[in-house]
Amino acid sequence: MSSPVPHPVGVRTLGEFVFCPRAGLLAARREADEEPEYDEPRLDFMPQYSLAAVEEQLAVWLSRFGRWSAGGAVLIVAGVTSVVLGVKAVAAISAVALFVLGRFWVRELAVVMRLADVRRQALQASPKEPPADASSATPVTWWELLKAGFDSVRLQEPLRDEQTGLVGSPWRVLRKGSLRIPVIKLESAHFDSGRFWIYPQHEIRLAAYARLLEACERGESPYGVVLFGDRFEGVAVPVGKELREAVETTLPRFREALRKSATEAPPPEPPDPALCAGCPLGFPKAATEAERRSVVKKIHGVQGNDGKLYHSECGDGFAWRPPHRRARQKGLLPPGE
C-alpha cells in the first residue's frame, strides 16, 4: 500500500516561514505561491531576458521614435513658417504642441538608448558559468550564462514532488545538458555596486527548487542563481548538503506549525523587533469604510496619532501590533515599545 502524499507546501511559503513563522502561516493562507518578477524598470517597458526579444523591442521603439521625430520636424517647419508669415496664433500652437511632443520624444529616446545598451551587453558577453563544485557565492551575469549554452525556460505549470509535497516554479530554469539551474529574482535593493544581500529565506527557496527540479526533471542542480530587480547581474549560490538538509528539516516544522495554528496559539512574536521594522506584512495602512464594517474579515485596528484607524495583514492575522517602523511614526505602538 502506497504511503499518503504529504500536504503540499509552496516553495515561497517555505521561504517565508524561514524568515518568520508568522509570515509563513500568512503565506500559507494565500492561494498564490508564484515567484514575483521584481522588475523595476526606470522606463515604461519591461526588461527582456533574451537577445531576440531585446532586438525585437528595439526595432519597435526605433520605429516609434522615428514617428515622433518626424512629427517634431513637421511642427518645427510649421512654427518657423508661421513666424516668417506673421501668423502668431499658429506659431503659438506649434510651440505648445512641440513642447508636449518633446516630452514624449525624450521618453522614447531613453527607451531606445536603454534597449541599445542591453543589446550591447548581450552581444559583448563572453561565455562563462560558475563551477559546479563551487563552495561560495559566485558573481554571474545573465548574458554570460546564455552565451555559455544555457537555455532559459519559463515553466508553464508548477513542479510537484510527491515525496516531499513541495510545489512551485522558479522564476526561470536554466537548462544545459543534465544541469537544471533554478533562478529567482529579488528586489534591486538587495544588490548595490557588486555587493549583494541574500538571506536564509532566499537560500532555502533555491535549495527547494533544486530538490524539485532533480525530482521532477531528473537533472542536476548544484547551484541556483539570484537576479536583482531589472539588473542582469546576479549571484550563483551553491546548493550543498547543508542547504538540502535544511529543506528536509524545515518542511515538518512548518507542517507542525500549520497544524498548531488551526487549534492552538499562533507562533510567538519574533524575538527581534528589527525583523518586523520593514516587513510588508506589518505595514500599517488606513482602514477603509468597507473594512471597518466587514463582518466576514475582521481587522485588528489601532488608532494613530492622526486620528485614523490603521491595520496590517500580520496584525489582523494574529491580533497584535507589529513593530513596523511606520507603526512607530503613526503612534500605533504602546509607550516604551
For the chain, the three-class secondary structure string (H helix, E strand, C coil) is: CCCCCCCCEEHHHHHHHHHCHHHHHHHHHCCCCCCCCCCCCCCCCCCCCCHHHHHHHHHHHHHHHHHHHHHHHHHHHHHHHHHHHCCHHHHHHHHHHHHHHHHHHHHHHHHHHHHHHHHHHHHHCCCCCCCCCCCCCEEEEHHHHHHCCCEEECCCCCEECCCCCEEECCCEEEEECCEEEEEEEECHHHEECCEECCCHHHHHHHHHHHHHHHHHCCCECCEEEEEECCCCEEEEEECCHHHHHHHHHHHHHHHHHHHHHHHCCCCCCCCCCHHHHCCHHHCCEECCHHHHHCCCCCCCCEECCCCCEEECHHHHHHCCCCCCHHHHHCCCCCCCC
Q: What is the pLDDT of residue 91?
A: 57
Confidence bin at 122 (pLDDT 50/70/90): confident
Say which residue, 313 or 42, is predicted with more confidence.
Answer: 313
Task: For CA atoms 79, 81, 82, 83, give the dihedral sign.
Answer: positive
45 pLDDT more than 60: no
Q: How far is CA 76 from the centre of its chain?
A: 44
Q: What is the pLDDT of residue 334?
A: 84
pTM: 0.82
What's the rounded mean pLDDT across residues 79-87? 64
Q: What is the pLDDT of residue 40?
A: 47
Q: How many residues does the chain have?
A: 337
Q: What is the pLDDT of residue 1?
A: 41
d(CA 324, CA 280): 9
d(CA 322, CA 328): 10
Question: What is the percent of the chain where pLDDT is above 90?
Answer: 50
**At 38, which amino acid appears?**
Y
- Range name among 86-90, 214-218, 285-289 with the lowest pLDDT average: 86-90
Confidence bin at 27 (pLDDT 50/70/90): very high
- Range name among 23-37, 92-106, 273-287, 319-333 with the lowest pLDDT average: 92-106
Domain parsing of the chain, residue ranges: 9-33+127-255, 51-124, 274-329
Q: Report pLDDT digits (tens) over 136-195.
A: 899 999 999 999 999 999 999 999 999 999 999 999 999 999 999 999 999 888 877 677
Query: Bridge-partner residues for 13, per DSSP?
Result: none
Say which residue, 174 or 52, is predicted with more confidence.
Answer: 174
Confidence bin at 36 (pLDDT 50/70/90): low
Query: Bridge-partner residues for 191, per DSSP?
Result: 196
Assess contact for 281 and 322: CB atoms under 8 A.
yes
Assess contact for 11 and 184: CB atoms under 8 A.
no
CATH code, residues 9-33+127-255: 3.90.320
Question: What is the percent of the chain where pLDDT is above 70?
Answer: 82
Find cell 499658429 and name the residue. 90
